[in-house]
Amino acid sequence: MTASGWPILILALFALAGPAAAQEPPAAPDRPLSSPEQEARAQALFSVVRCVVCQHESVADSPAGIAGDMRRLIREEIAAGATDQAVRDDLVRRYGDYVLFTPPMRAGTWLLWFGPALAVLLGAAGLLAMVRRRPVETSPLSPDEERRLADLLAAERLRPDPDASTPHDGR
């Protein structure tokens, strides 16, 4: 092959290669909306809409062909005057709840949405119970225990606590 033949072959390879998702047509070119506010709304929606054939990618990120179609659909609806909510509803009607990265709020997802708050409450209640438990009354030390305690304290003095740099520090 001549040197001049190379670029043509390479360009042909690129044309064949397509985007990372391979084997499917590349996304149609994106044409941003003329109104900057509407385009900003469209961009905000792209980042919370899932590309339905991809692995955990939003249509904003995905190079797949269907993501390009979904971007165009969203832009068209916004240009036609639909509110963000209307666009989302329409997407859910077409593709199901799966299409939104925000899970729906309904009986089946209450645990998902309120689980974290429930966990905080349960944890806090548990801690409160622990704190309010009364200390057990202890009998005075026997002479033998007093002696062992004194030994221990003497040993502690040999190893001054390196953390106790401030007077209010415990030990």
Partner 1 sequence: MIVEFGAFALILALLLSALQTGLATAGRWRRSPLLSGGAEGAAIAAALATALAFAALIFAFTTSDFSVVNVARNSHTDKPMFYKVAAAWGSHEGSLVLWCLVMTGFGAALTRARGLPFGLKASAVGVQGALCVLFLAFAVFTSNPFNRLDPAPLQGASLNPLLQDPALAVHPPLLYAGYVGFSVTFSLAVAALIEGKAFSGFWPAWGRWVRPWALASWVFLTMGITLGSFWAYYELGWGGWWFWDPVENASFLPWLAGTALLHSAVVTERRGALAGWTVFLALLAFSFSILGAFLVRSGVLTSVHAFAVDPERGMLLLAILGVASGSAFALFAWRAPQLKGGGLFSPVSREGALVLNNLFLTVAAVTVLLGTLYPLILEAATGATISVGPPYFALTFTPLMAVAFLILPAGPLLAWKRGDLKGAMQRLALAAGLAIACGFVGWLAFEPRQAFAAAGLAIGAWLILGSLAEVFERIRLFRAPLAEVGRRTRGLPLGAWGMTLAHAGLGVFVLGAVVETGFKIEAAAPLAIGGQVSAGPWAVTLDRVEIVEGPNYLAERGTVTVRPVSGDAPPRTISAERRFFPAGGQTTTEVGLDFRGLDDVYVVMGERRSTPEAAQAWTVRVYYNPWARLIFLGPALMAVGGLLSLSDRRLRLAVGRRKKALAG
The CB-side HSE value for 62 (13 A sphere, CA atoms) comes to 26
Using CB under 8 A, pick the residue from 50, 71, 75, 88 that binds partner 1: 50
Q: Print burial letters for 134-168: b (CB count within 10 Å at least 16), e (below 16).
A: eeeeeeeeeeeeeeeeeeeeeeeeeeeeeeeeeee
Q: Does 145 bind partner 1 (CB under 8 A)?
A: no
Using CB under 8 A, pick the residue from 33, 48, 73, 79 that binds partner 1: 48
Hey, which residues between 75 and 134 contact partner 1 (CB under 8 A)? 96-104, 108-109, 111-113, 115-116, 119-120, 123-124, 127, 130-131, 133
> Helix, strand or coil for residue 69?
helix
Identity of the residue, 34 or 165, whose beta carbon is nearer to partner 1 in the bound complex = 165
Distance of alpha carbon 48 from alpha carbon 71, whole angstroms: 12
Smallest distance, partner 1 to C-beta of residue 63, A: 9
Task: Output the six-digit token pair for 151.
Answer: 């030994």
Longest dimension (CA), the chain: 101
Smallest distance, partner 1 to C-beta of residue 143, A: 20
Residues 6+ apart with CB under 8 A from 1: 9
Chain residues in the site for partner 1 (CB under 8 A): 6-7, 10-11, 13-14, 16-20, 22, 26, 29-30, 32, 43, 47-48, 50, 55-58, 60-61, 96-104, 108-109, 111-113, 115-116, 119-120, 123-124, 127, 130-131, 133, 135, 152, 155-156, 158-159, 162-163, 165-166, 168-171
